[in-house]
């Protein structure tokens, strides 16, 4: 079993290591190492299309992670107080949202957004003053943030509820016995206890949103995220610049995931 586990890890991580290695190649061939150089990192960071895509990805990831963390925490607190079949029903919906393939989420989100915009745009035209053209709702940054927020919210709910389930109820009961208000109990007792879970959910949401390609491909409209840019670029051939971009994205994702794991470990020990 130990040999089998090592073989699986090698199969997963050797290709990633090769990409990172060839990102430092001085040659123009992405599959040949021709001397050590960091010029492709400089070229990637000086590419205006890469930087625009990076800015879009960071903006979407940050805003969607904040929305998912806030509303996911609120939903987790509400669901924790539910019992019986209603709680089982909502639990099933949350886990289904995580298990559904990204392409299904992307297609269904696209259809839902197009349908809603098809209803709202004629209404905007009817109520808009005659002096100027009415604005038209379309795919863009807003739809991208909304789609990522909804998907990431399920992750935050699962993480925060795990923290709430392991929380010592005696603290909140003691706070109520001391005549603290519900908001005071939440601010001074509940929130500090679940804060590591909220932060871990935020970091995981940021990572998933930043790395997402499938959902973004369907709902981004004219906006280009970094994964979409990489996908468009490799259709013309893989270059060391793409390897450098992939290595930088991998490094950022690993930093965020390791930070989230540390916070989750802290959550289990507090």
Please name which of 100, 92, 60, 93 lies closest in space to residue 207, comparing C-alpha atoms.
Answer: 60
Mean pLDDT score, 213-221: 88
Q: Where are the domains of the chain?
A: 49-269
- Bridge partners for 25 per DSSP: 36
pTM comes to 0.81
Task: Return the number of other C-beta atoms located less than 10 Å from residue 51's C-beta.
Answer: 13
Please name which of 57, 12, 49 lies closest in space to residue 215, comparing C-alpha atoms.
Answer: 57
DSSP string, 105-163: HHHHHHHHHHHHHHHHHHHHHHHS-TTSPPP---SSHHHHHHHHHHHHHHHHHHHHHHH
Task: Write out pLDDT tens, residues 224-241.
Answer: 888 888 888 887 777 788
Please name which of 235, 220, 213 lies closest in space to residue 101, comparing C-alpha atoms.
Answer: 213
Which residue would you say has higher pLDDT here, 59 or 11? 59
Task: Write out pLDDT tens, residues 25-66.
Answer: 777 776 677 777 788 888 888 888 888 988 999 999 999 999
Torsion angle, CA of 83/89/93/95, rounded to 10 degrees? Answer: 60
The reported pLDDT for the residue numbered 45 is 84
The reported pLDDT for the residue numbered 63 is 94
Least confident of 69-73, 171-175, 193-197, 215-219: 171-175
Task: Write out pLDDT tens, residues 84-101.
Answer: 777 788 888 888 888 888
Residues 162, 79 contacting (CB under 8 angstroms): no
Q: What is the CATH number of domain 49-269?
A: 1.10.3720.10
The reported pLDDT for the residue numbered 168 is 66
The reported pLDDT for the residue numbered 70 is 92
Mean pLDDT score, 196-209: 86
Task: Write out pLDDT tens, residues 164-184.
Answer: 777 767 766 677 667 677 777
Task: Write out pLDDT tens, residues 119-159.
Answer: 888 888 888 776 767 778 888 888 999 989 988 898 899 88
Confidence of residue 223 (pLDDT cuts 50, 70, 90): confident
- Bridge partners for 36 per DSSP: 25
Which residue would you say has higher pLDDT here, 269 or 225? 225
**H/E segment holding residue 252:** helix 240-269
Confidence of residue 250 (pLDDT cuts 50, 70, 90): confident
């Amino acid at each position: 079993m130990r040999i089998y586990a090592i073989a699986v890890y090698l199969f997963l991580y050797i290709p990633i290591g090769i990409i990172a290695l060839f990102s430092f190649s001085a040659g123009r061939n992405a599959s040949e190492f021709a001397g050590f150089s960091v010029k492709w990192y400089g070229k990637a960071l000086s590419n205006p299309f890469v930087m625009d895509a990076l800015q879009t990805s960071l903006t979407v990831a940050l805003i969607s992670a904040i929305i998912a963390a806030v509303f996911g925490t609120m939903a987790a607190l509400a669901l924790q107080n539910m019992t019986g079949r209603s709680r089982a029903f909502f639990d099933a919906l949350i886990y289904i949202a995580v298990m559904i393939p990204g392409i299904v989420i992307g297609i269904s989100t696209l259809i839902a957004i197009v349908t809603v915009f098809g209803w709202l745009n004629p209404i905007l035209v009817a109520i808009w003053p005659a002096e100027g053209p009415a604005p038209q709702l379309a795919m863009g940054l807003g739809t991208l943030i909304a789609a990522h927020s909804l998907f990431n919210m399920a992750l935050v709910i699962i993480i925060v509820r795990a923290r709430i389930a392991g929380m010592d109820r005696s603290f909140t009961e003691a706070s109520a016995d001391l005549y603290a208000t519900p908001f005071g109990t939440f601010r001074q007792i509940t929130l500090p206890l679940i804060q590591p879970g909220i932060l871990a959910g935020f970091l995981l949401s940021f990572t998933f949103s930043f790395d997402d390609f499938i959902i973004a491909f369907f709902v981004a409209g004219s906006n280009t995220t970094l994964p979409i840019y990489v996908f468009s670029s490799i259709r013309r051939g893989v270059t060391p610049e793409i390897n450098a971009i992939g290595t930088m994205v991998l490094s950022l994702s690993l930093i965020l995931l390791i930070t989230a794991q540390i916070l989750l470990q802290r959550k289990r020990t507090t």
